[in-house]
A and B are shown apart, each in its own frame.
Chain A
Amino acid sequence: MKAVSPVSVRPLRVLLAKLGMDTHTVGITVVAHALREAGMEVIFTGLKQTPEAVASAAIQEDVDVVGISSLSAGHTRSLPRLARLLREQGSGEKLLVAGGVIPQEDLPLLHEAGFARIFTMGTDTREIVAYLREWWAQRLAAEAHKQ
């Protein structure tokens, strides 16, 4: 963990990533702009990343949230692998979310793998912002309690 100034003023750090060969970027662009406008720090990995590269970027950048955009059908393998890698590297506390074209019947598998929330296509960015803010408020409260 990096040495932090008072936790209450620390802005939420989000890593947005595209895994594998999926190169659809409209959704992630919109989300990146919306999160930045909401005062969050957004880091984009660029395209064509491996779960390994995203996990190590998430740890290196010390982000609080990892958001994956998936618009091809590869999510049932790559997302669980990313979650497993983060847990294995002691970073299981990071919030994992995903969005894109993800059929309803795949949601249980992804939730079980460790993805807290899947934002399917058409999700309002304000809903994403609100969800992240609420999660962050709870996380900060928990950190304050520990201190």
Chain B
Amino acid sequence: MSRPVDRIAVVPQGPPARATDEAQRWDRETRTPFVAAHPERRQPFLTQALKWPIQPLYTPADLEAAGFDYRQDLGFPGEYPFTRGTQPNGHRSDLWTMSQVTGFGKGEDWAKRARYMLDQGLQGLILEHDLPTTNGYDSDHPLVEGEVGRAGMALDSLEDLERAFDLPFEKLRYLMSVCNAPQPVNLAMIIAALEKKGVDPRRFVLHIVNGILIEYTCVGRYIYPPVHGLRIATDCIEYLIRNHPNWAPISIISAQLQPAKANPVQEIAFSMAIAMAYLDATLARGLDIDTVAPYFHFVINVDMDFFEGICKLRAYRKVWAQLMKERYGASRPAALKIRMMTSPTTIALTLQQPLNNIGRLAIMATACALGGAGEAMTTPLHDEAHALPAEEAIRVGAALQHIVAHETGVADTIDPLAGSYYVETLTKRIESAAHAEIVKIMQMGGALAAIESGYFQRALGREQYERNKDVEEGRRKWVGVNHLVAPEQKRQIEIFRADNRMEEEQVARVRALRARRDNAAVAAALEAVRAAARSGANLVPPCLAAVKLYATHGELCDAMRDVFGVHTPDSQLTGV
């Protein structure tokens, strides 16, 4: 089998037509007779998410057919169009920052776990809040019983963050906070807590995700109607750019579109359209593209289809650079370079035979590294499919990234898969399809219109159903799920549980706080938030004033509910 490939490898010296001729000759003379005797094991071979046909062989002929041009399509690392990476020296100078998601319980519970994670060699943390917080309720609201401190840390007031920030800040390179719908409230609490702890806000980077448009698209943690959600997000972006220029005011979490089954093309197109909606709104505040664009940050998942994942990461960098240059006229290199964090996806992990997930995570983390990991990588944990993560899983998850970084050599040369006929063909194809989908979304009126009409939501709902059928009907083999299924699977992983007492304590705390603070001052501060919501003034300063008086998270969200109303989408707008 190797001889015909050797012959093809010398083809680029000849005229373009020869590569195609040679490949066709090989297929006719060598491969077809073989396949006649040895039928292929899949009919047809398709990529996992896009379901694009996979050829048996990729040759220079495919690059020619795709119009591949080294300088135009790839260029060099650290140079436009950044396909080969935004860093001039890849990961040879600095590895990506290694991080993991954490967050549960009360503030001090989070701090304890965060310290444990920093001791495991992690340098970045992600603070996920519980669902009451991200949906804009205090812990004692009747609607949230049973959810307090479960899926993330409970946050009712500045007090909770004061406890959470009992951390060795010298070990932290960055902290990412996820609290999208109530973003100005969350941001104000973090700023106030850092001030109170005496932490120099220039000494580390705070990322606020600030990702409300993806919440409307697929995550569901929204409060206000989309147009107000976009305004609130823009207030936070503008405030941080003007007041904390070293922080990151916006992350586009494509890694939430992907578990909602966005395929790589949808993922790039939807996330870029969403980024452009924030970008346009921020530019309308009188900031210029070369100032604003460098602040945009993406979190991108990689799934088990190794090459779809790698090519997607390469296409992401190029599409962003092209949009910034051609659509927005950006010229600063920092505006053209996408900033990204990558992650193996949780949706590849299985409940069945959970230790297999360690293997999956290692493969996906390797794909992230090969695709250019970005500034940071975060790894989910092998027991996440079963329940909230346990400590042993955190240790293994941290070790995994070190294994990929230090033992495999994949980070030792820059963009090592460049020039692969398959990788370049697929990268280019994903890029072109993403541009076409972006044009379609722009014709609808952009991301806000696509959300308000339910286009994104229904497109994802269809993908969710179709991709699930692929597994159930065996078109996609999945070990432990529909392949190598073990009849009796005993659960061997640890389960972490937050206890019910924690919720009771949290509820008692917020009630005690309301009884003891200056309630007249709080009422006036809440009225100032309503006034800003009505007038269009930036919401962050009045929120900051209110949280320092210990106005609660839920009270501040309610103040904005009074002005903006609430978002209650029907089934057409949820895609269910």
Task: Please give, as numbers and ranges, the residues of chain B lying within 8 Å of A76 by CB-CB distance.
Answer: 146
Task: Please give, as numbers and ranges, the residues of chain A lying within 8 Å of B261 by CB-CB distance.
Answer: 26
Which chain A residue has the least Cβ–Cβ distance from B143? A50
Q: Are B465 and A21 in contact (CB under 8 A)?
A: no
Q: Are B571 and A44 in contact (CB under 8 A)?
A: yes
B521 within 8 A of A: no
A72 to B481, CA, bound (A): 22
Query: Shortest distance in angstroms between A139's beta carbon and chain B's nearest beta carbon?
Result: 25
B464 within 8 A of A: yes
B388 within 8 A of A: yes
B446 within 8 A of A: no
Which chain A residue has the least Cβ–Cβ distance from B259? A26
Task: Please give, as numbers and ranges, the residues of chain A lying within 8 Å of B219 by CB-CB distance.
Answer: 23
B132 within 8 A of A: yes
In the complex where A44-B571, A77-B145 touch, is A23 in contact with B576 (Cβ < 8 A)? no
A20 to B143, CA, bound (A): 6
A47 within 8 A of B: yes
Residues of A1-49 at the interface with B, using a CB-CB cut-off of 8 Å, are 16, 20-26, 28-30, 32-34, 44, 46-48
Comparing B82-90, B118-126, B491-499, the segment that makes contact with chain A is B491-499
Which chain A residue has the least Cβ–Cβ distance from B385? A121
Task: Please give, as numbers and ranges, the residues of chain B lying within 8 Å of A78 by CB-CB distance.
Answer: 145-146
Q: Are A125 and B468 in contact (CB under 8 A)?
A: yes
Q: Are A21 and B135 in contact (CB under 8 A)?
A: yes
Q: Are A25 and B388 in contact (CB under 8 A)?
A: no
Query: Shortest distance in angstroms between B357's beta carbon and chain A's nearest beta carbon?
Result: 12
In the complex where A72-B147, A73-B498, A77-B145 touch, is A30 in contact with B221 (Cβ < 8 A)? no
A34 to B388, CA, bound (A): 28
Query: Shortest distance in angstroms between B387's beta carbon and chain A's nearest beta carbon?
Result: 5
A104 within 8 A of B: yes
Q: Are A46 and B568 in contact (CB under 8 A)?
A: yes
In the complex where A74-B150, A78-B146 touch, is A21 in contact with B132 (Cβ < 8 A)? yes
A103 within 8 A of B: yes
A126 within 8 A of B: yes
A124 within 8 A of B: yes
Select the residue from B134, B385, B472, B491 with max chain A CB neighbours within 10 A: B472
Select the residue from A72, A74, A76 with max chain B CB neighbours within 10 A: A74
Q: Are A26 and B260 in contact (CB under 8 A)?
A: yes
Task: Please give, as numbers and ranges, the residues of chain B lying within 8 Å of A47 by CB-CB distance.
Answer: 220, 574
Interface SS of chain B: loop
Which chain B residue has the least Cβ–Cβ distance from A18? B220
Query: Shortest distance in angstroms between B101's beta carbon and chain A's nearest beta carbon?
Result: 14
Q: Are A22 and B386 in contact (CB under 8 A)?
A: no
Q: Are B350 and A122 in contact (CB under 8 A)?
A: yes
Q: Are A29 and B576 in contact (CB under 8 A)?
A: yes
Query: Shortest distance in angstroms between A117's beta carbon and chain B's nearest beta carbon?
Result: 17
Q: Are A29 and B465 in contact (CB under 8 A)?
A: yes
Task: Please give, as numbers and ranges, the residues of chain A lying within 8 Å of B388 by CB-CB distance.
Answer: 73
Query: Shortest distance in angstroms between A129's beta carbon and chain B's nearest beta carbon?
Result: 11
Give how many A residues have a beta carbon under 8 Å from the other chain's beta carbons: 36
Which chain A residue has the least Cβ–Cβ distance from B136? A21
Q: Are B461 and A33 in contact (CB under 8 A)?
A: yes
Residues of B482-515 at the interface with A, using a CB-CB cut-off of 8 Å, are 491, 495, 497-498
Residues of B191-234 at the interface with A, using a CB-CB cut-off of 8 Å, are 218-221
Query: Shortest distance in angstroms between B386's beta carbon and chain A's nearest beta carbon?
Result: 7
Q: Are A44 and B576 in contact (CB under 8 A)?
A: yes
B333 within 8 A of A: no
A98 to B169, CA, bound (A): 43
Q: Are A122 and B351 in contact (CB under 8 A)?
A: yes
In the complex where A77-B145, A78-B146, A101-B386 touch, is A29 in contact with B575 (Cβ < 8 A)? yes
A120 within 8 A of B: yes
Task: Please give, as numbers and ranges, the residues of chain A lying within 8 Å of B386 by CB-CB distance.
Answer: 101, 103, 121
Q: Are B468 and A30 in contact (CB under 8 A)?
A: yes
Query: Shortest distance in angstroms between B441's beta carbon and chain A's nearest beta carbon?
Result: 21
A103 to B151, CA, bound (A): 15
B144 within 8 A of A: yes
21 pairs of residues in contact across A and B, judged by CB atoms under 8 Å: A21-B132, A21-B135, A21-B143, A22-B151, A23-B131, A25-B260, A25-B574, A25-B575, A30-B468, A32-B576, A48-B143, A73-B387, A73-B497, A74-B147, A77-B146, A78-B146, A103-B386, A103-B495, A121-B386, A122-B352, A125-B468
Given contact pairs A21-B144, A23-B219, A25-B576, enumerate 11 new A-B contacts (beta carbons under 8 Å): A20-B144, A23-B221, A28-B576, A32-B576, A46-B570, A72-B131, A72-B151, A74-B146, A76-B146, A121-B351, A122-B352
Chain B interface residues (CB < 8 Å from chain A): 130-132, 134-135, 137, 142-147, 150-151, 218-221, 259-261, 350-352, 385-388, 461, 464-465, 468, 472, 481, 491, 495, 497-498, 568-571, 574-576
Q: State the 5 A-B residue pairs at the shortest beta-carbon distance, nearest first.
A: A23-B220, A21-B131, A74-B146, A77-B146, A33-B465
